[in-house]
Amino acid sequence: MVEKLFWKDQYMKAFNATVVAAEGGIELDKTAFYPTGGGQPCDIGTLGFGDNRINIVEVRKEGDRIMHLTEGSISITPGTSVFGEIDWHRRYAHMKYHTLLHIVDGIVEKYYSGRVTGGQIYQDRARMDFDIPMMDRQKADEISAKAQEVIDERHAVTQKFLSIEEAAMIPNLSRTLPGNELLKKLDSIRVIDIEGFDMQLDGGTHVANTSEIGKIRLDSYESRGAHNKRVAFVIES
């Protein structure tokens, strides 16, 4: 199984690896490239080998495999040593926005008796869908203000790996599926802990401290039905 360097060190920008397979994409024995998943887009960047340097334009999961798709065709064979570099500006933006959405999710859970129904991260913004009783623009502004307070409190953000039994003992750890249904689908129980504030199951990449997010702004609020309100956030600094 591929070694997920993006979990080992979420700030890793470059790495060495060996090609395992090269059909339908490049498969490596280890990678710092995050594959699309959980509302977070994949990393892009380059792989170098010998005098060659190729662009990685998409990274995706295929079962237990992580495939790196290139710009155009490339001839590379299993056993080749490569040097990978991710687009750090893109990755770091995703890390900040992903952590921000965890904060917003925690606020909705704690203060508004609501639940998150969806979300998506981009390099320049992030959106989240809610089902909150009597949700309106004023509450959206309140959520944004509370999120900024949490950011400014400088909470450490850490990752933990738990057994299924340990994870099942923590209430509301899984918020995307009822009960422990999500736990049953996972092999690795990875938890993101915004220390002193919120803890959630998650497979994405995050900053090490909430203060790294900076100043945020509620960019838009949209009602998409009685049980679905959409908000978008922008990080200004």
Confidence (pLDDT) at 187: 60
Looking at residue 170, its pLDDT comes to: 80
pLDDT value at residue 182: 56
Among the candidates 70, 86, 102, a domain finishes at 86
120 and 63 assigned to the same domain: no
Could you tell me if 196 and 122 lie in one domain? yes
pLDDT of residue 169: 79
Closest among 218, 225, 220 to 130, alpha carbons compared: 225
Q: What is the CATH number of the domain that holds 35?
A: 2.40.30.130
Based on the fold, state whether residues 82 and 102 are members of the same structural domain.
Answer: no
Residue range of the domain that includes 191: 91-235
For residue 62, the SS3 value is strand
- pLDDT of 3-16, one tens digit each? 999 999 999 999 99
Do 67 and 181 share a domain, yes or no?
A: no
Segment 129-170, tens digit of pLDDT: 989 988 999 999 999 999 999 999 999 999 999 887 787 778
Domain with residue 132: its CATH number is 3.30.980.10
User: Do 26 and 141 belong together in one domain?
Assistant: no
- Same domain for 127 and 141? yes
- Rounded to two decimals, the pTM is 0.93
7/64 same-domain check: yes
Looking at the structure, tell me whether residues 130 and 155 fall in a common domain: yes
What is the pairing mode between strands 30-31 and 26-28?
A: unpaired
Q: Which residues of the chain have pLDDT under 70?
A: 174-188
Q: Give burial (CB, 10 Å; 0-12/13-18/19+) of 223.
A: exposed
What DSSP letter does each residue of 63-125 carry, written as one string?
A: TTEEEEEESS-----TT-EEEEEE-HHHHHHHHHHHHHHHHHHHHHHHHSS-EEEEEEE-SS-
